[in-house]
């Protein structure tokens, strides 16, 4: 209890002391919170992207089979579907048709797909994501979409439906076509597909199934959903790590700045320490008071920076970092990030910012606190 009372009195005193040097301390908190803001924005944004990616990947088939020719992906033969179906544990095998279309009018790439089942558009019609009318400037309802593959070629498609922006991350540049239209438009012969997707009922069997399938069709490449998820996670981790490493440089610069600030005591502060020691505080009390000061400054800056980063990322869509972290495209989906933060991130951020600051200021604080009262006051 006594210890608690002592700490409370110290905190009380420190707050008053901080308020006496408002400008200097506000400047310190301001710069510190800027550093925290940079680091926190990068971390929050990357974690939100990881979350989006894993949510998006839930709809991805368990297993994708691609044909490799000359080391690149080629069209895969229809016969593979039956071969794959013959493996026990594999279900819902279907060939997929998809590709990219470069639109010279808007300078953007569209993802063209043939949907399976449900939403198959009628011949001559397409379903598009919200990004395509936006890129093309098709402002009015019912405007047809003209696609040209080469000079003098024009194909008319009627837009049957436009996806809303709720699913923009997945559908912004999507163009769904009827199978016959797709084959005619891209000159894809019958009997081949872009790749084959399959479900595997028991996830634990996936590795065995891939083994069996590989020996059955050695020319094909098998990509599981976990492979894709891992790649995404690594990619985002790496980008986040780079941003954080850059931010850590800022943190280092700030730590040097803070150490410098703490060692260059103003005459007034030196006098204050001198008076405190003259009236009976010992070195330990002065250090404790100074640590309180550092603690209040860093917690204040931490909260300010973290809240600002939260607002920046989740309310304003991280305009400062988006180009680096999410990549870039002509048709970029407009999507709101789901706020995903966990305790470990905050702990990490706290260690990453407050610890260097504390370590940088302890030595100057100690030097000031352990000086003789008459020496500092003189």
Partner 1 sequence: MIFRTPILTLLLVSALAILVALGAAWFGQRVLRQWDLASGSRAQLVMERRTELISTLFAMVMLAEAVALFLFVFNADRMAALFVGAMCAVGTLNVNAYGFPALYAKISVFFAAAVWLVIDHVDRLGRDYPLTRAKYALVLAIAPLVLLAGGLELTYYLGLKTDVITSCCSKLFTPANAGLSDEMAAVDPALALWALAGAEALVLGLGAYAVQTGRGHGAFALAGAGFFAVAMTAIISVISLYIYENPNHHCPFCILQREYGYIGYAFYIPLFGATALALGLGAVAPFKRRDSLRAPLPPVLKRLTLWAMAGFAAFGAVTIYAILRSHLILLG
| Binding residues vs partner 1 (CB under 8 A) | 43, 46, 226, 229-230, 233-234, 237-238, 240-242, 244-245, 248, 283-284, 287, 291, 344-345, 347-348, 351-352, 355-356, 358-359, 362-363, 366, 369-370
Return the structure tokens found at 220. 């094909």
Residue closer to partner 1 by CB (options 201, 230) is: 230
Contact 243, 321 (CB under 8 A): yes
Residue closer to partner 1 by CB (options 97, 369) is: 369
Which one, of 328, 17, 68, lies nearest residue 223 by Cα?
68
Residue closer to partner 1 by CB (options 110, 236) is: 236
**In what side-by-side order are the strands of the sheet with 125-128?**
98-103, 108-113, 174-177, 125-128, 155-162, 145-147
Shortest CB 304 distance to partner 1, Å: 20
Q: How far is CA 365 from CA 30, 192, 287, 301, 360, in A?
A: 21, 73, 7, 19, 9
Residue closer to partner 1 by CB (options 186, 350) is: 350
Which one, of 196, 126, 191, 135, lies nearest residue 162 by Cα?
126
Nearest-angstrom CA–CA distance, 229 and 199: 16
Q: How far is CA 148 from CA 103, 104, 142, 160, 338, in A?
A: 8, 8, 19, 19, 38
Residue closer to partner 1 by CB (options 188, 233) is: 233
Shortest CB 348 distance to partner 1, Å: 5
Q: 238: part of which helix (H) or strand (E)?
A: helix 225-263
Shortest CB 235 distance to partner 1, Å: 11
Nearest-angstrom CA–CA distance, 322 and 339: 15
Shortest CB 355 distance to partner 1, Å: 5
Report helix, strand or coil for 344. helix
Residue closer to partner 1 by CB (options 330, 363) is: 363
Shortest CB 316 distance to partner 1, Å: 22
Shortest CB 364 distance to partner 1, Å: 10
Shortest CB 42 distance to partner 1, Å: 8
Residue closer to partner 1 by CB (options 177, 352) is: 352
């Amino acid at each position: 209890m006594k210890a608690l009372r002592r700490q409370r009195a110290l905190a009380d005193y420190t707050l008053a002391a901080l308020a006496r040097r408002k400008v200097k301390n506000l400047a310190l908190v301001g710069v510190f919170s800027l550093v925290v803001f940079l680091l926190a924005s990068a971390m929050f944004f990357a974690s939100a992207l990881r979350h989006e990616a894993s949510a998006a990947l839930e709809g991805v088939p368990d297993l994708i089979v691609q044909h490799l020719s000359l080391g690149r992906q080629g069209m895969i033969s229809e016969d593979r579907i039956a071969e794959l179906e013959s493996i026990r544990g594999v279900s819902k095998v279907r060939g997929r048709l998809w590709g990219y279309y470069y639109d010279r009018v808007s300078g953007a790439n569209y993802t063209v797909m043939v949907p399976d089942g449900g939403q198959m558009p009628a011949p001559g019609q397409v379903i598009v994501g919200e990004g395509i009318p936006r890129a093309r400037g098709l402002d009015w309802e019912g405007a047809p979409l003209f696609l040209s593959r080469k000079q003098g070629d024009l194909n008319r498609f009627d837009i049957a439906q436009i996806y809303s922006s709720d699913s923009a991350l997945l559908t912004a540049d999507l163009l769904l076509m009827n199978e016959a239209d797709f084959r005619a438009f891209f000159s894809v012969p019958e009997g081949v597909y872009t790749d084959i997707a399959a479900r595997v009922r028991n996830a634990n069997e996936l590795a065995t199934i891939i083994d069996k399938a590989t020996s059955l069709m050695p020319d094909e490449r098998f990509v599981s959903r976990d492979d894709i998820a891992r790649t995404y996670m690594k990619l985002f981790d790496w980008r986040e790590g780079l941003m954080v490493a850059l931010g850590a440089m800022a943190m280092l610069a700030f730590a040097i700045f803070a150490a410098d600030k703490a060692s260059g005591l103003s005459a007034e502060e030196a006098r204050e320490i001198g008076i405190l020691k003259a009236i009976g505080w010992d070195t330990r009390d002065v250090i404790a008071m100074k640590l309180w000061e550092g603690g209040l400054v860093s917690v204040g800056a931490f909260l300010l920076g973290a809240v600002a980063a939260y607002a920046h990322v989740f309310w304003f869509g991280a305009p400062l970092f988006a180009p680096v972290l999410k990549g870039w495209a002509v048709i970029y989906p407009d999507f709101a990030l789901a706020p995903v933060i966990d305790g470990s991130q905050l702990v990490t951020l706290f260690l990453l910012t407050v610890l260097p600051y504390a370590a940088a200021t302890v030595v100057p604080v100690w030097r000031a606190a352990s000086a003789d009262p008459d020496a500092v006051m003189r």
